[in-house]
């Protein structure tokens, strides 16, 4: 071979090698991006399921997440509607209100002492003896 032909072969080999490497990196980047999007979709679905009152998150395995799209804002398009449909179709996966709701508990009422007129004779004697015992 002539020197020019060898130089051409050597110069194309590194370029072709770099192109192959760049294509492999682009394929890997695409795979990693798809995996990250799938993880983010699963996380958003879990959050939406908890918000909807799902008892066991294993119920998410019943959903087909392939049709879901991730919006640029990071939210899953149609996740709330999907949970609503799942809640109608399989209501046993969802419980009542969560104990972490923002409802206020009823106000505490101080214990009411039993009046002497409401006591039986034995209760009255016991209560009177307890009062007299603590008297100075």
Over residues 61-83, the mean pLDDT reads: 82
Choose among 63, 45, 59: nearest CA to 93.
59
The count of structural domains within the chain is 1
pTM (2 d.p.): 0.54
Average pLDDT over residues 127-132: 88
* Tokens representing residue 109 in the block: 């009422």
**Which pLDDT tens digit goes with each residue over 95-111?**
765 555 666 777 777 77
Q: What angle in degrees, to the nearest 10, is found between the helix axes of 3-52 and 79-89?
A: 50
d(CA 94, CA 54): 4
Task: Specify if 81 maps to a domain.
Answer: yes
How far is the CA of 30 from the CAs of 18, 67, 73, 118, in angstroms?
18, 18, 20, 80
The reply to whether 127 falls in a domain is no
The kind and range of the H/E element at 129 are helix 121-133
User: Is position 103 within any domain?
Assistant: no
Q: Is 41 contained in some domain?
A: yes
Residue 120 has what pLDDT?
Answer: 93
Angstrom distances, CA of residue 100 to CA of 78, 81, 94, 103, 117:
25, 23, 15, 9, 43
104-105-107-109 Cα dihedral, nearest 10 degrees: -170
Average pLDDT over residues 65-77: 81
Q: How far apart are CA 69 and CA 74, in angstroms?
A: 10
Q: Is residue 110 part of a domain?
A: no
Give the mean pLDDT of 116-136.
87
d(Cα 4, Cα 70) in Å, to the nearest integer?
A: 53
Q: In terms of residue numbers, what domain contains 37?
A: 3-96
Sign of CA dihedral 99, 100, 101, 102: positive
pLDDT in tens, 11-33: 568 899 999 999 999 999 999 99
In a domain, 101, yes or no: no
Domain-embedded: residue 134: no
Is 25 part of any domain?
A: yes
């Amino acid at each position: 071979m002539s020197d020019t032909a060898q130089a051409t072969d050597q110069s194309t080999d590194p370029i072709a090698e770099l192109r192959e490497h760049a294509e492999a990196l682009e394929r890997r980047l695409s795979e990693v991006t798809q995996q990250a999007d799938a993880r983010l979709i699963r996380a958003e679905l879990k959050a939406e399921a908890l918000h909807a009152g799902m008892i066991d998150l294993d119920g998410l395995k019943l959903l087909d997440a392939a049709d879901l799209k991730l919006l640029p804002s990071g939210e899953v398009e149609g996740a709330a509607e999907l949970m609503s449909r799942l809640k109608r179709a399989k209501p046993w996966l969802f419980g009542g209100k969560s104990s972490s709701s923002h409802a206020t508990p009823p106000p505490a009422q101080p214990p009411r002492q039993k009046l002497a007129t409401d006591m039986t004779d034995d209760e009255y004697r016991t209560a009177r003896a307890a009062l007299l015992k603590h008297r100075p």
